[in-house]
Amino acid sequence: MQRLPVSDLYAILGVAGTASEHAIRKAYMEQARRYHPDKISITSTQAERTAAEEQFKAIGSAQEVLRDTVERSKYD
């Protein structure tokens, strides 16, 4: 499983810095479905499951900041 970059909230969601709230929500939903811990194969290693959980948390945190106009302006 490919790990997402953690240093850039826009990169975590795969959107541009000019992305609309709708685009951010759409990207969040796509990434959340992909990295949701329940979607990880039962044959995955513990390390893979842990990585998916970490990515899922990072995706959630990124969308929380980027969908809040005040927090997003602070981040930018």
**Domain residue ranges in the chain:** 21-75
| Mean pLDDT of all residues belonging to the chain | 86
For helices 46-67 and 21-35, the axis angle rounded to 10 degrees is 170
Which residues touch 64 (CB under 8 Å, ≥6 apart)?
71
Please state which CATH number belongs to domain 21-75. 1.10.287
Report which of 8, 17, 5 is spatially closest to residue 54, judged by C-alpha positions: 5
Query: Over the stretch 14-32, which tens digit does the pLDDT of each residue have?
Result: 999 899 999 999 999 999 9
At 55 the three-state DSSP class reads helix
- 54 vs 4, higher pLDDT: 54
